Amino acid sequence: MVGGPERTFDEVKEILAAMGASVTRVGEIGSGNIIQNHTSAGTETPSLADTVRVMAAASSE
């Protein structure tokens, strides 16, 4: 999961792909970290709706 401008992501996607099997842009700077922290917290994987709610709250801050 990567956060940052789409243009920058497109420029470095190939490099990032060399480090992991899956590279996905999830929004602006900090978005990847927010989603990673949310999905790894606790013992249960949150639903997509929970992730969207967290992202919406983070973007309004």
pLDDT per position as a tens digit, 4-60: 899 999 999 999 889 888 888 888 887 777 777 766 655 455 566 777 777 777 776
Rounded-to-integer distance, Cα 32 and Cα 30, Å: 6
Distance separating alpha carbons of residues 4 and 48, to the nearest angstrom: 21
pLDDT score at 60: 60
Whether 55 contacts 35, CB under 8 Å: yes
Q: Which residues on adjacent β-strands are paired with residue 36?
A: none
